[in-house]
Structure 1
Amino acid sequence: MSSDLGPGGRPTVTTSTARPEGGGRAAPGDAPAPARQWPIIVVIVGAVAGLVTVATGAFRAGAIVLGAAMLLGGVLRWTVTSVGMLAVRSRFTDVFTYAVLGVAIVLLALMAQPDPVIRIPFLEDIIHFSVR
């Protein structure tokens, strides 16, 4: 058969794999579940607040709140040692992803028509080219 089988023909359990970086808790184990995962809850509450703001008709303000929630997620991932489920991959990958998404959402919100707050010519060209 295969060398991956242990005694009795059962598959062996891998014991040498490193635990995921986000596998730890953000609060002590005796704390209630929401308190242990406060970083992801803060980011989710911010994102939901942004989406609700967009749904009520304030697109630009809601998108900025949503982007700010992503940026806050990056800051929390960078500064807090144990962030629980906010950690997905390595710290660098998580911070980079949160930062790029947050900045992109905020920039696009500020460029939204009508009456854009900022104008970035090459981004306007990309948007006009992709929409046509």
Structure 2
Amino acid sequence: MPAENTHHSAGPTAPEAGGSPKRTTRRFPRITRDTARPEGGGRAAPGDAPAPARQWPLLVVLGSVALGLLLTALDVFRWGTLLIGAALLAGAVMRWILPSVGMLAVRSRFTDIATYGILGLTIVLLTMMAQPRPWLVIPFLKDTLHFTLTK
């Protein structure tokens, strides 16, 4: 039985004759040298465009959230939080439709759409159910609350 090579200084790749790296082991490397960009994580505008134009999807979402937070701070609670939820839903739609969204892409397309969509929908629904004078009343929630709090 041949002796196993325990020398790790060369790493998992060794150069081929053409100079390109060739994988010499099936084990994953101990140290990650780089990470793959998420699908759709390319620039949303050409590389010669100014920096804000290249990241416009992220800036739209962040700007809308900032405006929603400002409205909430100015005591326009319902419209501010509704705008925050709508901004996240818009982020989900942009992630779904646009081929490149810049830094709005964080994980895989499915994970981003699910995260932005679920958070946005939850914020919108909770905003619509907020007291006083809720815009949306779900009767079984009130019954569930009374059932859990009564002895």
Q: What is the TM-score with the length of structure 2 in the denominator?
A: 0.72
Q: How far has the Cα of 1:4 moved from its partner?
A: 5.2
State which structure, 1 or 2, has the greater radius of gyration over its C-alpha atoms.
2
- Quick check: 1:77–1:95 contact (8 Å CA) kept in 2? yes
Per the TM alignment, residue 3 of structure 1 is displaced from its structure 2 partner at its CA by 2.0
1:3 aligns with 2:8: yes
Deviation at 1:5, TM superposition (A): 3.6
**1:13 CA drift (Å):** 7.6
CA distance in 1, matches of 2:141, 2:99: 36
Are 2:97 and 1:92 equivalent residues in the alignment? Answer: no
Aligned-residue Cα RMSD (Å) equals 2.7
CA distance in 2, matches of 1:36, 1:52: 25
Identity value in percent:
57
> Using CA pairs below 8 Å that are at least 6 residues apart, which structure has the higher relative contact order?
1
The structure with more helix, counted as a fraction of residues: 1
User: Number of paired residues?
Assistant: 125
Q: Which runs of 5+ in 2 are unaligned?
A: 1-5, 15-29
Contact 2:41-2:106 at 8 Å conserved across structures: no
For residues 20-99 of structure 1, the aligned pairs below 5 Å read 20-99=38-117
Listed as ranges, the gaps of 5+ residues in structure 1 are none
In the aligned structure 2, how far is the partner of 1:71 from the partner of 1:30?
29
Q: How does 1:105-120 map to 2 (within 5 A)?
A: 105-120=123-138
